[in-house]
Structure 1
């Protein structure tokens, strides 16, 4: 996705009350076991693929897919053979 799209994503997130917006890149085959964050997040995958597990549900996410997670919700992440990049807006809740 283009930098212009990132700017639109960033501006919309700030309007919605998110505190920061960043781009995260993950190396191929990275695995993050169950963990939590002290912030809520909404994101859009821009490259690669990942799997997000919350409770008993695992979602496969590819470029163009979005996800949202509230603060302190246990979740796990796994990244595919190409790794992944996503834009994420974070908000302390």
Structure 2
């Protein structure tokens, strides 16, 4: 059994100062145009695939890949044919 699971991700994130940890699931082919969030986030993809665009850079992310965003950073998200899921930790304030 893998030592990396939601509980360990949650505990590690809380120890790093994040105050909210959850799983997000996205429907197939969801597209979120450029937007921002009022929180910093770090995440690990657990299912499916997604593309994250920040500035001129677009990254394809698959299970096991991670990403981080500071608060108020403009970005766009696109989800693959099977949708996607990721664990995300958020730091507000």
Q: TM-score, normalised by structure 1?
A: 0.95
2:38 maps to: 38
Q: How does 1:1-93 map to 2 (within 5 A)?
A: 5-93=5-93
CA distance in 2, matches of 1:25, 1:73: 21
Cα deviation, residue 92, structure 1: 1.3
Gaps of 5+ in 2: none
Which runs of 5 or more residues in structure 1 are unaligned? none
Q: Which stretches of structure 1, 4 residues or more, deviate above 6 A after TM superposition? A: none
